[in-house]
Amino acid sequence: MTASKAPRRLARDDETAQDPGEQVLRESAELMFFGYRSLTQDPDKILAERDYGRAHHRALHFIGRQPGLSVAGLLDILGVTKQSLARVLKPLVDDGLVEQHVGENDRRQRLLFLTEEGFAFEERLSAPQRARLTRAFREAGPEAVEGFRAVLELMMDAEQRKQALTVIAGAKTP
Amino acid sequence: MTASKAPRRLARDDETAQDPGEQVLRESAELMFFGYRSLTQDPDKILAERDYGRAHHRALHFIGRQPGLSVAGLLDILGVTKQSLARVLKPLVDDGLVEQHVGENDRRQRLLFLTEEGFAFEERLSAPQRARLTRAFREAGPEAVEGFRAVLELMMDAEQRKQALTVIAGAKTP
DNA sequence: ACATTTATGTCAACATAGCTGACATAATTC
DNA sequence: GAATTATGTCAGCTATGTTGACATAAATGT
């Protein structure tokens, strides 16, 4: 059952860089799919308890990472519309997980903070993720971890990367 | 600015394995989020042309990877319900991107194949993903790529990993 | 042979999380 | 005082997931 025209299955499993074969590239895309799914599955279960979804986790996560983040800042990170964010943020505020404080410099802004409860819940959500990553990192070793992070970083466009790294650095946009 | 009770922001950027700090773990989860988004954004644009979504791409991808895959097999890989898959698969069949052949051994099965057009479209969808990965892999180097793949693999549960690796190996379930 | 199980398809109803467009309010800036 | 900005909100649409119920054809078990 060898393909007559298009050579669809040729690459070998070794030689994963330089000019990686189509096979390796497809495998890597699959690994991203499966890996991402693994990483989100534990918090998803916990979120279901409260009638929240993955979007709520993301909001809690980034507010936790950058307390005092503005709504516009969060919109920028998440890359969704404000209407979409509102549907996630409002319940979080109503349920007392997130607080909005009027901005000191600019009083139009609503700066976002986690409440004690919000912080605790976010911890619960991210704990299994951190556990999963810790286990994977321990088994893979420090060099693999560096590679993992480097590739993910390089996978983004220059602009995205810049923004992501700003977020990751925990720096507030000045 | 040392935390008095809960040390929320302590870890330094080096020392990313062994017992990685909370900071590094949260960063890594963020990198997965941003990386996954980057990887899916190009095909998403192309899919929009035809009124398809990411789910259609996934189906096309895995059928392309394992021609002759059964519906049950695809359900297993995607981890969705058959009703959910049907909504994706039917249009693909109707539009002539996927063909279903009655199984030789088991004539209840509908074995899935990409048509020429389906193959071409899947190529178009995955081309920008492969380009993105190729660029990232080239810049990160072979060792980083190995680390990237190793961590993603180890991120899964044993069962998931087993299934994922079966898929990746391109082996049909016997 | 007949009953059961399996592989697949389909109908209906519902939930989540994205989108666009339109409009409102308050605060800031020009 | 006018224009812009940050935020909120209403309404409706789409994509993709879910459950539950039922139908058909083929394979399997007894």
Taking the domains of chain A in order of start, what are their residue ranges?
34-140
Query: Which residues on B lie below 8 Å from A19 (Cβ)?
Result: 134
- Separation of CA A123 and C1' D15 in angstroms? 31
- Separation of CA A13 and C1' D12 in angstroms? 50
**CB of A34 closer than 8 Å to CB of B152:** yes
State residue A18's pLDDT score. Answer: 52
Q: What is the pLDDT of residues B11-42, one digit of tens each?
A: 444 444 456 788 999 999 999 999 999 999 99
CA distance B165 to B155: 13
State residue A13's pLDDT score. Answer: 46
Nearest to A26 by CA among B121, B71, B114, B132: B132
State residue A168's pLDDT score. Answer: 87
Q: What is the pLDDT of residues A81-126, one digit of tens each?
A: 999 999 999 999 999 999 999 999 999 999 999 999 999 999 999 9
Q: A14 in contact with B at a CB cutoff of 8 Å? A: no
Q: Do B31 and A154 touch (CB under 8 A)?
A: no
Strands (E) across B119-166 are located at none
- Separation of CA B129 and C1' D14 in angstroms? 25
- Separation of CA B146 and C1' C7 in angstroms? 39
Q: Which helix (H) or strand (E) holds B70?
A: strand B69-70
Residue nearest to nucleotide C11 (CA to C1'): B83
Q: What is the pLDDT of residues B66-90, one digit of tens each?
A: 999 999 999 999 999 999 999 999 9
Joined together, the tokens standing for residue B142 give: 């072979």
Q: What is the pLDDT of residues A3-32, one digit of tens each?
A: 334 444 444 444 544 567 889 999 999 999
Q: What is the pLDDT of residues B127-167, one digit of tens each?
A: 999 999 999 999 999 999 999 999 999 999 999 999 999 88
Q: Does domain B41-139 have CATH number 1.10.10.10?
A: yes
List the 74-133 stretch of B: residues with Cβ below 8 A of A: 79, 119, 126, 129-130, 132-133
Q: A158 in contact with B at a CB cutoff of 8 Å? A: no
Res. A71 pLDDT band, cuts 50 70 90: very high
Q: Do A35 and B138 touch (CB under 8 A)?
A: no
Which residue from B minimizes the CA distance to A30? Answer: B168
Res. A2 pLDDT band, cuts 50 70 90: very low
Q: Do A37 and B79 touch (CB under 8 A)?
A: yes
Q: Do A34 and B156 touch (CB under 8 A)?
A: yes
Q: Is the confidence at residue A38, as pLDDT, over 70?
A: yes
| CATH numeric code, A34-140 | 1.10.10.10
State residue B18's pLDDT score. Answer: 53
Neighbours of B101 (CB within 10 A): 12
Q: Is the CB of B105 under 7 A from strand C?
A: no
Side-chain half-sphere CA neighbours of B1 within 13 A? 4
State residue A19's pLDDT score. Answer: 67
Joined together, the tokens standing for residue A64 give: 């936790």
User: Nearest nucleotide to A52 by CA–C1' distance?
Assistant: C16
